[in-house]
Structure 1
Amino acid sequence: MRNVRPYDSEQPAKLRRRPKKQPTKKPDCGAIGEAGAHESAIKHVTGTALYVDDMPEPPGTLHMAAGGSLHARAKIISMDLSAVKAASGVVDVFTHEDVPGELDVGPVYAGDPLFAVNQVEFVGQTLFTVVATSYELAQKAVALAVVEYDVEAPVVTVKDALQAQEFVLPTHTMQRGNAAASVAGAAHRLSGEGYMAGQEHFYLEGQISLVIPTEDGGMHVHTSSQHPTEVQKLVSEVLHLPLHQVTAEVRRMGGGFGGKESQAAAVSCAAAVAAHHLQCPVKFRLPRREDMERTGKRHDFAFNYDVGFDAQGCLEGIHIELAGLCGYSPDLSEGIVDRAMFHADNGYFLNQAKVTGHRCKTNTVSNTAFRGFGGPKGMVAIECVMDDIARHLGEDPLTIRKRNLYKPGKDTTHYGQTIEQHILPDLIEQLEQSSEYWERRQSIQAFNRQNRYVKKGLALTPVKFGISFTAKHLNQAGALVHIYTDGSILVNHGGTEMGQGLYTKVAQVVANEFGVDVSRVQVTSTRTDKIGNTSPTAASSGTDLNGLAAKNACETLRQGLLAFACEQYSVSESQVVFANGEVQVGPTTLPFGEFCRLAYMNRVPLMAHGFYKTPKIHYDRENANGRPFFYFANGAAAAEVVVDCFTGEYRVERVDILHDVGKSINPSLDIGQIEGGFIQGMGWLTTEELCWDDKGRVMSNSPANYKIPTAFDVPRDFRVAIYEGANNEDTVFNSKAVGEPPLMLAIAVWAALRDACASVADYKMSPRLDPPATPERVFMAMQAAQQFVASTKLASENQESEAIYEK
């Protein structure tokens, strides 16, 4: 018997009665700069927060499942769906022939058909959908399809794609000066390569949508999406409807991390096609296994470098080549590979530089956005270079990193943007001292000399992450603010809440503008019929954009209220103060609610629309030059690890983090993002291993065979601090974005593991250690270090023998 929900329309009335709700107090949240709880914190821990699958289902709701391809590359010879249609509970079956409008649902470029036509390009690509009276019956019916294929050999790896010159988009290059000549003329020269695997988003709430037909022939779409406007646009195109007939709504997501920026739309579009034909609500939820097999992930990246440097380890020239595994279609890969290229400098002055980015096409699911976009991949590549230079010169890697940091006179990036605020030198110096880096370095080296079978590693790595969408038009936001006559305030904006605390910060911004407690402010579901043409909640820009849009609306309202107060009480604007839930007008003090009622009675507008667009940014992609980022968020982490040389197993002993968030709006939320981002980054770099077979099937498709970090993986000694300093740019209260940058702090763990492996060779070489640095890879890196020692010893013995022979 299936579980019965209290609102299930199939059950008797007495079971459908809404359970009594106990009144819940909003979590306390202070003013700007004060720590406060997430606006849904109590709902999260008590289970009362509603996600799409928790919503009461409208009467007659049907459930959907999708039939996917069994092969990565094949022509479809025939497809017999008769047994599917005849299965128990099945109401209808849909294919590409049933789409009334556009078939392609690609977010930027074409290439993502809602249903496959004639051929398939990855395992799991949708062939048809089934609509049934229950989720279970729909899932069972899907398995009855009989499909005949003409199977072809797939392209699965980056190496295969490069050899075949298979790309989803053209190669792009960023260049400053003459890198080749500078590398060739440098006193020292190194080259190397590596491979960074992808990462599964593993959001707690999977991809899901509930689509309800409206009385005017449109659709109301409840979606778990970071980009409701894109869902609205693509549903309207698929159904051949004007945009105003489609409303997309998002109250919250159970995690997104980029996985719901573009790929949530296809789920809504498929459900919308069925809802259009059947004229009833349709819910489409992917089970975890299918979600992991059929949705995109963080891109794999291969990289190689050729670098020239002086005796101090300072770069004179470098060529970095990055190749992203994009999958079968472009999706967001243009911007993702661009972002990897932008961040191939991390915090370092590359001098004469050439950075090349390839977008490789493979017969795998189309990879997509992931926290950091492509930035982490470029950063790992340059941190590998810093380690290799240090080992070559016999220096500590931190020394080489500090010598190459951007500084006045060496502050122009390889894409032409000037670094205007040099935070990293001071931030790193503070972390060096607070983490006791040099004292620990000495004790770790002594430990490694005394212990043959257990080694320790230590690394301190920086982060410089550019904040803004690199697609300029996305850097805009709108907000709508209502003040009611009791003094309560309702806010709607274009950002989506996925657990990061955006709604909480926006509520704080609005409360601050009117001098009221945040409990007076309610932020409502993101809806495209309230705020149209929204940008995705991504690129760490949610608070920057939507917070300032809301602030702009509040300023309009305040100006109207100020003018009213001055006219009503014959005072100047300087005599009107909004504070402590009251409005002081000269000698008169009124509660905020009473003042709002008075304003209403005098026909003063109590609602306003706000808008914000990011200034200063521009980028000429043809010439690969400009200012794509409004500002940079910075940080650094020091990580210490201990490794078992017999097995490669390791433990992260201690992590010290100092991170730059400007003037924090809410330190509790910011520290939570720093901690969570770091742990997710550590998972990508250590335990989370995506496994594919040579047929293009993802083998790591469940929690049983894909290992995200658990509470036991959190460093035993975990110290997180916020760097004191306001943003020099005019952001919302001079704060800085904090969503994505902390993920890259975890590079320190990978570098520390590499440091431990290098200790086996007395730090004379840097063994290759491709992320994720699983125990197996760590063991192999240590074996490589031991082989280096053996070969060096043998070479030395041979030289001695030759010298004796000659003598």
Structure 2
Amino acid sequence: MERAAEALGISPDKLREMNLYKEGDLTPYNQPLTDCNLSRCWDDVMKQSDYEHRQNDINVFNSENRWKKRGIAVMPLKYGLRHSLQSTDHTAGALVHVYADGSVLLAHGGVEMGQGLHTKMIQIASRVLKIPMSKIHTSETSTDKVPNASYTGASMTSDLNGMAVLIACEVIMKRLQPFVAKNPAGSWEEWVTTAYTDRVSLSATGYYKTPKEDHDWQANSGDTYNYFSYGAAVSEVEIDTLSGDHVVLRTDIVMDIGQSLNPAIDIGQIEGAFIQGYGLFTLEEVRRSPTGFLYTAGPGTYKIPSMNDIPVRLNVSLLKGSSNPHAVYSSKGLGEPPLCLAASVFFAIRHAIAAARADVGLNDFFLLDSPATAEKIRMACADQFTRQFPEPKKGSYTPWVIGL
């Protein structure tokens, strides 16, 4: 896209905007897009980030500074959530116990690993049972509670287990309905106690399976993905052309995640995924010796994102007025999609390097491979110093680069 924009004599941002997916467009695998909010995400982030004004300020800054350069870039995102495979991996189970005192114990097949999954499952149960979250407790994932659980991953765990929890809780509510009808002014505890006294089961399982895939791989038609998450991000960076160091001055993100089950958790997930992607695109470079020995075997030999790498300003917004009929309570999976938005940092760095190269009369297209490490940034900022070093041979490796 960058190279095409240069050949056409327009900005990469304009070219990307002209080619954004619209409602009803077909993907390369001929799936029509419905509820496509990509343009809304793009417009919102451009407005919230004050993109055009800041672009002008960056041009002024670059004209006044020789060894410090800034760049800004906007990146759109369409990410498919694929739940409709013909696979046993796309099932989920839940077990709900209601005790005579009105407390609830919830078990489901998802693994809590800091992503707030338990909290979301409690919220779903609370919504169906119409009781405070404080009355609901969870037990850790265990096969003696929920057997044959699908793996926790692919941004689909809340979708799958959330539906299983919802189904189990609806079974409980259906059993309680006669007692609610007899005593509509009663409390949750009264209904549960009456049901217990009447020897009604207050334990239920929920099982959910996704719709089967209807994509025809031979004809390349049908739905390959269950739904899509959309987003857009604007990032601004400043690079030191002499050292190759950089700092992310500001990032603005707008994500379409449907109706968020928990905005606080989801914003945290977006921030975390973005920083992980930042490491992917700018820091974490795998290096091997000529014999194949892995030098970068862990964080001791390559840099991972730290607190100092968080953008000086990080603004995250959730797109309003979005819905998703394919997941629990119209939510959307979001663990992985925001990671890709960190590409906005990579391209902002590239634009800053382009400004440095322009100062020495290099206006031609140049290739910058990801990750944009300090070494690559420094050598790409061609000047009288970099010309003193010969161009490395393809596939060669210099151990002193990482101090080995």
The two structures have a TM-score, normalised by structure 1, of 0.46
Contact 1:391 1:766 in 2 (8 A): yes
Given residue 553 of structure 1, which amino acid in structure 2 is its aligned partner? A
**Unmatched runs of 5 consecutive residues or more in structure 1:** 1-385, 570-584, 788-807
2:271: which partner in 1? 675
1:454: which partner in 2? 68
5 Å-filtered alignment, 1:641-720, equals 641-720=237-316
- Deviation by residue 1:330-368 (Cα, 9 ceiling, x = unmatched): xxxxxxxxxxxxxxxxxxxxxxxxxxxxxxxxxxxxxxx
1:551: which partner in 2? 166
5 Å-filtered alignment, 1:476-625, equals 476-566=91-181, 569=182, 585-586=183-184, 588-590=185-187, 592-615=188-211, 617-625=213-221
Contact 2:227 2:326 in 1 (8 A): no
- Deviation by residue 1:389-441 (Cα, 9 ceiling, x = unmatched): 122222121111110011246x1111121111220111111111110101111
1:248: which partner in 2? none
Q: Does 1:773 align with 2:372?
A: yes
Aligned with 1:725 (options 305, 309, 321): 321
CA drift at 1:618: 3.3
Contact 1:394 1:764 in 2 (8 A): no
Structure 2 Cα separation of the partners of residues 512 and 534 of structure 1: 23
Structure 1 Cα separation of the partners of residues 339 and 353 of structure 2: 23
The alpha-carbon distance between structure 1 residues 766 and 550, as it changes in their structure 2 partners (threshold 3 A), is farther
Contact 2:156 2:333 in 1 (8 A): yes
Aligned with 1:406 (options 21, 35, 45): 21
1:441: which partner in 2? 55
Structure 2 Cα separation of the partners of residues 512 and 471 of structure 1: 29
1:141: which partner in 2? none
Structure 2 Cα separation of the partners of residues 398 and 765 of structure 1: 18
CA drift at 1:469: 4.2
Contact 2:22 2:38 in 1 (8 A): no
The alpha-carbon distance between structure 1 residues 652 and 519, as it changes in their structure 2 partners (threshold 3 A), is same
Contact 1:388 1:765 in 2 (8 A): no
Q: Does 1:426 align with 2:40?
A: yes
- Deviation by residue 1:630-666 (Cα, 9 ceiling, x = unmatched): 1111111100011122222111111111111211111
Structure 2 Cα separation of the partners of residues 544 and 407 of structure 1: 25
1:782: which partner in 2? 381
The alpha-carbon distance between structure 1 residues 442 and 524, as it changes in their structure 2 partners (threshold 3 A), is same
CA drift at 1:629: 1.2
Structure 2 Cα separation of the partners of residues 428 and 466 of structure 1: 18
The structure where helix makes up a greater share of residues is 2
Number of aligned pairs? Answer: 383
2:228: which partner in 1? 632
Q: Does 1:390 align with 2:5?
A: yes
Structure 1 Cα separation of the partners of residues 344 and 366 of structure 2: 16
Contact 1:679 1:709 in 2 (8 A): yes
Q: Aligned with 1:626: secondary structure?
A: coil
Given residue 380 of structure 2, which amino acid in structure 1 is its aligned partner? A
Contact 1:663 1:726 in 2 (8 A): yes
Deviates more, 1:671-680 or 1:699-708: 699-708
Structure 2 Cα separation of the partners of residues 709 and 408 of structure 1: 36
Contact 2:109 2:150 in 1 (8 A): yes
Q: Aligned with 1:689: secondary structure?
A: coil
- Deviation by residue 1:455-480 (Cα, 9 ceiling, x = unmatched): 11100001111112474322221111
Q: Does 1:758 align with 2:354?
A: yes
The alpha-carbon distance between structure 1 residues 720 and 685, as it changes in their structure 2 partners (threshold 3 A), is same
The alpha-carbon distance between structure 1 residues 526 and 778, as it changes in their structure 2 partners (threshold 3 A), is same
Structure 2 Cα separation of the partners of residues 469 and 672 of structure 1: 24
Structure 1 Cα separation of the partners of residues 275 and 240 of structure 2: 22
CA drift at 1:619: 3.2
Given residue 6 of structure 2, which amino acid in structure 1 is its aligned partner? R
Structure 2 Cα separation of the partners of residues 397 and 447 of structure 1: 20
- Deviation by residue 1:574-593 (Cα, 9 ceiling, x = unmatched): xxxxxxxxxxx33x323x22
The two structures have a TM-score, normalised by structure 2, of 0.89
2:393: which partner in 1? none
Contact 2:324 2:331 in 1 (8 A): no
CA drift at 1:453: 2.0
Contact 1:687 1:772 in 2 (8 A): yes
Contact 1:640 1:752 in 2 (8 A): yes
The alpha-carbon distance between structure 1 residues 616 and 450, as it changes in their structure 2 partners (threshold 3 A), is farther
The alpha-carbon distance between structure 1 residues 424 and 602, as it changes in their structure 2 partners (threshold 3 A), is same
Structure 1 Cα separation of the partners of residues 319 and 136 of structure 2: 29
2:338: which partner in 1? 742
Structure 2 Cα separation of the partners of residues 524 and 548 of structure 1: 18
The alpha-carbon distance between structure 1 residues 697 and 548, as it changes in their structure 2 partners (threshold 3 A), is same
**Unmatched runs of 5 consecutive residues or more in structure 2:** 387-404
Deviates more, 1:442-451 or 1:460-469: 442-451
The structure showing larger relative contact order (alpha-carbon pairs under 8 Å, at least 6 residues apart) is 2
The alpha-carbon distance between structure 1 residues 670 and 460, as it changes in their structure 2 partners (threshold 3 A), is same
Q: Aligned with 1:464: secondary structure?
A: strand
What RMSD in Å do the two structures reach over aligned CA positions? Answer: 2.2
The alpha-carbon distance between structure 1 residues 547 and 766, as it changes in their structure 2 partners (threshold 3 A), is farther
Contact 1:477 1:545 in 2 (8 A): yes
5 Å-filtered alignment, 1:205-216, equals none
2:397: which partner in 1? none
Structure 2 Cα separation of the partners of residues 445 and 623 of structure 1: 49
Structure 2 Cα separation of the partners of residues 663 and 612 of structure 1: 20
Structure 1 Cα separation of the partners of residues 363 and 22 of structure 2: 29
Given residue 186 of structure 2, which amino acid in structure 1 is its aligned partner? T
The alpha-carbon distance between structure 1 residues 654 and 401, as it changes in their structure 2 partners (threshold 3 A), is same
Structure 2 Cα separation of the partners of residues 694 and 531 of structure 1: 49
Given residue 382 of structure 2, which amino acid in structure 1 is its aligned partner? Q
The alpha-carbon distance between structure 1 residues 618 and 695, as it changes in their structure 2 partners (threshold 3 A), is farther
Contact 1:461 1:636 in 2 (8 A): yes
Structure 2 Cα separation of the partners of residues 557 and 767 of structure 1: 63
CA drift at 1:675: 0.6
CA drift at 1:594: 2.9
Structure 2 Cα separation of the partners of residues 628 and 521 of structure 1: 37
- Deviation by residue 1:147-174 (Cα, 9 ceiling, x = unmatched): xxxxxxxxxxxxxxxxxxxxxxxxxxxx
Given residue 394 of structure 1, which amino acid in structure 2 is its aligned partner? G
Query: Considering only CA atoms, is the larger Rg found in Structure 1 or Structure 2?
Result: 1
Contact 2:232 2:255 in 1 (8 A): yes
Given residue 137 of structure 2, which amino acid in structure 1 is its aligned partner? Q
- Deviation by residue 1:62-111 (Cα, 9 ceiling, x = unmatched): xxxxxxxxxxxxxxxxxxxxxxxxxxxxxxxxxxxxxxxxxxxxxxxxxx
Contact 2:77 2:230 in 1 (8 A): yes
- Deviation by residue 1:660-691 (Cα, 9 ceiling, x = unmatched): 12111111100110111111110111111222
Structure 2 Cα separation of the partners of residues 612 and 390 of structure 1: 47
The structure where strand makes up a greater share of residues is 1
